[in-house]
Chain A
């Protein structure tokens, strides 16, 4: 179906060299992308300064930025961010490796499938964060228990995605590889895993934000350093500037992680047809 594409007005294309026109267009698009975010921040600042909210309810954006700046100079920001990232990413790495291994075992071994399948299908939709007090009871409040909690929450999407991905690998690929004399290990590393990679990556892309969510909750509940812990401390002292600073910091960290993951996906799947198609969201 012929859709009308409006990349740029045609008069413009004739009047100026194509390159310059594209540059102007890119500039315009970049501005359009940040315009509403700037608008949102401006509204925040104006609302906070107008006095319709108390300082406790809504500190001005400029104050929040100043607070983040101070934290950055004193080093607190980096310590907290590094600790949160360390917990979330360690757990995420464990989830990625263990999840793919369990998923592979389930699709190759009937016994493993028999054992894990009901656990996955019952455990996946459960709110596993409810087990947090149990994890504290068993492992205390330090890194081990935080990381364990994140793994419990974030491993399910990886396992489920791996199982579905391996089921979806085309039979013809496997048959022809076998025909050409691939042994089991070669079949796994050279055929099944690459073919299953897109869906496994999708599972990982679900697991990564989830691990950050759980990391923040775990830090809030168990206290100590970390972005979540710092927010909770600020909240206890009714320091709402600190709380809003925490949200901005966590938002930035989350945004960067998700974007990095999308980038890795594009790099890893260069050979796949999806890379040529525009990604959604």
Chain B
């Protein structure tokens, strides 16, 4: 019941949407009624259009994000652990971090064409630095006492890195991954809107160009919901992963 009252404003907005469209306060081509959007969504699912495009989009986002987390986390921890690497790489990280990642869209297309490769590369490049910076800050703030005691107990470098530095970098690292997760959806959709032959962005673009706006709204809302659900799921997983901290 509490949840219902909490999310009541969203329900009110949905009702206002339906009424505004049904009473033709706004043109139905600009804002098709919510019920039409829902039935268009069901049609899209039945066609298999939505499912196949969703699969290719999620594959791109997943592959790019996985690469970004793997490379980014390694890079960040190595930068915090070996000073020379930090001296060499931190100016580059500092220079590329503020770069609006969307600027890379045309370049990835030049390098890898219109298919999956260019999107995966874009998401990888765009999402890597938040993870790197999270891992770097986390690993750097690792307590010296822990490192010392591990060393006095006879841990070698690698052991120490894995058993002490990585776990203590975890909270900030996971925070960085959350930023990367949100960014991956932004980059995915915008790159697919600009150049793609399948995927959510492409579907939105082609439905909009055909003038079937109710279906377009259905896909837009699906993407928005997926982004939201991914974030919530991620928060749940993080809470589980960090349960040892308390």
Contacts and interface: CB of A to CB of B under 8 A. Distances in A.
A128 B224 contact: yes
B91 A137 contact: no
A112 to B, nearest CB: 11
B106 A231 contact: yes
A86 to B, nearest CB: 16
Interface in B126-182: 133, 136-137, 144-145, 182
Counting chain A CB atoms within 10 Å of each CB, which of B9, B133, B145, B232 scores highest? B9
A27 interface: no
A199 interface: no
Interface string B85-99: 001110110111111
Given A125-B232, A132-B193, A220-B105, A258 B100 contact: no
A36 to B, nearest CB: 5
B190 A217 contact: yes
Nearest to A257: B98
Interface stretch (A12-20, A114-122, A182-190): A114-122
A33 B10 CA distance: 50
Contacts of A257: 98
Nearest to A261: B98
A128 B224 CA distance: 7
A1 B142 CA distance: 13
A243 B94 CA distance: 22
Contacts of A122: 7, 10, 228
B182 A127 contact: yes
A126 B232 CA distance: 11
A244 B107 contact: yes
Given A118-B7, A221-B193, A255-B98, A125 B228 contact: yes
A228 B103 contact: yes
Q: How large is the interface on B (under 10, 10 to 19, 20 to 34, 35 or more residues)?
A: 35 or more
Nearest to A132: B193
A130 B100 CA distance: 17
From B96, B102, B104, B208, residue with most partner A Cβ within 10 Å: B102
Contacts of A134: 216-217, 220
B103 A246 contact: yes
Interface stretch (A66-74, A75-83, A167-175, A208-216): A208-216
Nearest to B12: A115
Chain B binding site: helix, strand, loop or mixed by DSSP?
A: helix
B208 A133 contact: yes
Contact of A212 (B7, B100, B194, B205): B100
Contacts of B62: none
Nearest to B191: A217
B100 A126 contact: no
A94 interface: no
Contacts of B188: 127
A271 interface: no
A141 interface: no
Contacts of A246: 103, 106
Contacts of A142: none
A250 interface: yes
A187 to B, nearest CB: 28
B172 to A, nearest CB: 10
Given A130-B200, A215-B100, A221-B194, 4 more contacts: A212-B100, A213-B101, A213-B186, A254-B98
Interface of B: 6-10, 13, 30, 87-89, 91-92, 94-107, 109-111, 133, 136-137, 144-145, 182, 185-186, 188-190, 193-194, 200-201, 204-205, 208, 213, 216-217, 220, 223-225, 227-228, 230-232
Interface of A: 1, 3, 32-37, 40, 56-57, 114-119, 122, 125-134, 136-138, 209, 212-217, 220-221, 227-228, 231-232, 234-235, 240, 243-244, 246-247, 250-251, 254-255, 257-259, 280-281
Nearest first, the 5 A-B pairs at minimum CB distance are: A125-B231, A127-B185, A258-B98, A235-B106, A127-B227
